[in-house]
Chains A and B, each alone.
Chain A
Amino acid sequence: MPSVEFQGKNFDIDEDGFLQRFEDWCPEWVDYVKDSEGIKDLTDEHNKVIEFLQDYYKKNGIAPMVRILSKVTGYKLKHIYELFPSGPGKGACKMAGLPKPTGCV
């Protein structure tokens, strides 16, 4: 299993750059991932999406459906793509430390 070191922290990741364990998430992780996800500066809006994804995952054990993410944060899908160019799955969920989306993606 590959692992990366960033600002003194160690992260086990898979070949797509998703965290192997949700517990390993820390703010440094977001800093580390943002470049590869095409994000220059993290804004409050980014953090709002990340926080909601984490809360939802802790409560429900799954990532929210896109329509729930939009409804709760108030961000239309278009705006979520403006924040996370790779989209809510590959971009936002990866930064939030959630497991990799599965199914016929």
Chain B
Amino acid sequence: MAFVSSGYNPDKPMSDRISDIGPRNYEEFLPPVIKKNFGKWLYHEIIEPGVLMHKAESGDEVYTVRAGTARLVTTSYIREACAIAKEYCGGHLRWTTRNNVEFMVESLEDAKKLKETLNAKTFPGGSHMFPVGGTGASISNIVHTQGWVHCHTPATDASGTVKVIMDELFEEFTSMKMPAILRIAVACCLNMCGACHCSDLAVVGYHRKPPMVDNAYLDNLCEIPLAIASCPTGALKPSKMELPDGKTVKTIAVNNDRCMYCGNCYTMCPSLPLADQEGDGIVLMVGGKVSNRISNPKFSKVAVAFIPNEPPRWPTLAKVTRKIVETYAAEAKKYERLGDWAERIGWERFFEKCELEFTHHLIDDFRDPAYFTWRQTTNFKF
């Protein structure tokens, strides 16, 4: 299409420029029943998977129907959601902190009709557009990242792995049979955009080879001291080198024995790429949580050192994930998060029950704090 101006004048970029207006005030978008009862809610109930009811002091009720989304969606998809909101909810809707979508109505009857409508909508390939669920002790949406869709540092894909796991565990999204909530997160590199470090189960993209060094360009494209300082293990040092054409350039030398492939240096310096088809894959972590319900918040711990990338369906990832989820669901006590369960039975039992191989990769060796992760007691089970 030919160029269509929005009215912006490139010759006077600062004229009529609006800035620092911030986001719209959320109050503008509240459904009337929410606005009226704001701050005056008495109690809530989960009516059935995906349907909540909140009771206000005034006696008003609001029914919320929660549906899964892919997070990465088109404008047509958003319009579809808007059309539903217009038909049932006076044009109101909201997105949750796990990227589900919630539609609010004022009667149980309307909520049931809405759930039926949402569950009936499918894409041409057969997938649900708005599967209802994600409430209570279930597996709700997967918090995830950019992957091969948009980022330049990933070691795996996000949208692909998420679709695989949600397909595998779909039943758990639409029911509430878990001992407690089971949060899953995906991050496509160790930067861990999102929630991997504090989720019950986490998929993290992982490299296994040190960066390649583009000596000819490095000094032009990178601020060398930044790259050196970006390395958590001191594997990098500045160096000089003679190129084949005889020119001496400043560059960086990588000590491969100290490198653990985090990719931080590539983030700072475009001349140190490290992505690799065979080398890259996934690390599985388990046992994190952010709430302080009963036990304090926990970090997730590495449970599987490497699962290969197997696009498009990542069968090994799907299998291992299912095994961990099913074992937890069968063994844990009511209200026990995965981390609470693993800590109660002991990690040696966790590995045994989930049939996971314990390899030396899982033993912390990062600086002084590694010591505290070893076992300073004779309390263990054979």
Q: What residues make up the interface of A, taking CB atoms closer than 8 Å to B?
A: 20-22, 38, 57, 60-63, 85, 99-100, 102-104
With contacts A38-B14, A104-B191 taken as known, whether A20 is within 8 angstroms of B270 at the C-beta atoms is: no
Bound: A38/B17 CA distance, A: 12
Residue pairs across A and B with CB atoms within 8 Å: the count is: 34
What does the 1/0 interface line of B12-35 toward A look like (CB < 8 Å)?
Answer: 011000000000000000000000
B268 proximal to A (CB < 8 A): yes
Taking a contact as CB atoms closer than 8 A, the residue among B13, B220, B225, B226 that contacts A102 in the complex is: B226
- The chain A residue with its CB closest to the CB of B250 is A61
Question: Cβ of A104: which chain B residues have Cβ within 8 Å of it?
Answer: 191, 267
Bound: A63/B226 CA distance, A: 10
For residue A42, give the distance in angstroms from its CB to the closest CB of chain B: 16
In the complex, the answer to whether A99 meets B13 with C-beta atoms within 8 Å is no
In the complex, the answer to whether B223 meets A62 with C-beta atoms within 8 Å is yes
What does the 1/0 interface line of B279-292 toward A look like (CB < 8 Å)?
Answer: 00000000000000
Question: Cβ of B220: which chain A residues have Cβ within 8 Å of it?
Answer: 20-22, 99
B332 proximal to A (CB < 8 A): no
What does the 1/0 interface line of B250-265 toward A look like (CB < 8 Å)?
Answer: 0000000000000000
B47 proximal to A (CB < 8 A): no
For residue B230, give the distance in angstroms from its CB to the closest CB of chain A: 9
Question: Cβ of A20: which chain B residues have Cβ within 8 Å of it?
Answer: 220-221
Extra inter-chain contacts (10) besides given A62-B223, A103-B267, CB under 8 Å: A38-B13, A38-B14, A61-B223, A61-B224, A61-B225, A62-B225, A62-B226, A85-B13, A85-B14, A102-B267
For residue A55, give the distance in angstroms from its CB to the closest CB of chain B: 15
A-B contacts, 20 of them at CB < 8 A, read: A20-B221, A22-B220, A38-B13, A38-B14, A57-B223, A61-B225, A62-B223, A62-B224, A63-B223, A85-B13, A85-B14, A99-B220, A99-B223, A102-B222, A102-B226, A102-B268, A103-B267, A103-B268, A104-B191, A104-B267
Q: What residues make up the interface of B, taking CB atoms closer than 8 Å to A?
A: 13-14, 191, 220-226, 267-270
- The chain A residue with its CB closest to the CB of B153 is A104
Question: Cβ of B225: which chain A residues have Cβ within 8 Å of it?
Answer: 60-62
In the complex, the answer to whether B14 meets A102 with C-beta atoms within 8 Å is no
Bound: A63/B217 CA distance, A: 18
Q: Which of A20, A62, A63 has the most CB of B within 10 A?
A: A62
Taking a contact as CB atoms closer than 8 A, the residue among A21, A38, A85, A99 that contacts B222 in the complex is: A99
For residue B179, give the distance in angstroms from its CB to the closest CB of chain A: 37
Question: Cβ of A62: which chain B residues have Cβ within 8 Å of it?
Answer: 223-226
In the complex, the answer to whether A102 meets B224 with C-beta atoms within 8 Å is no
Question: Cβ of B270: which chain A residues have Cβ within 8 Å of it?
Answer: 102
Bound: A85/B224 CA distance, A: 27
Q: Which of A20, A63, A102 has the most CB of B within 10 A?
A: A102
In the complex, the answer to whether A100 meets B191 with C-beta atoms within 8 Å is no
- The chain B residue with its CB closest to the CB of A22 is B220
Bound: A38/B14 CA distance, A: 8
- The chain B residue with its CB closest to the CB of A38 is B13
For residue B115, give the distance in angstroms from its CB to the closest CB of chain A: 39
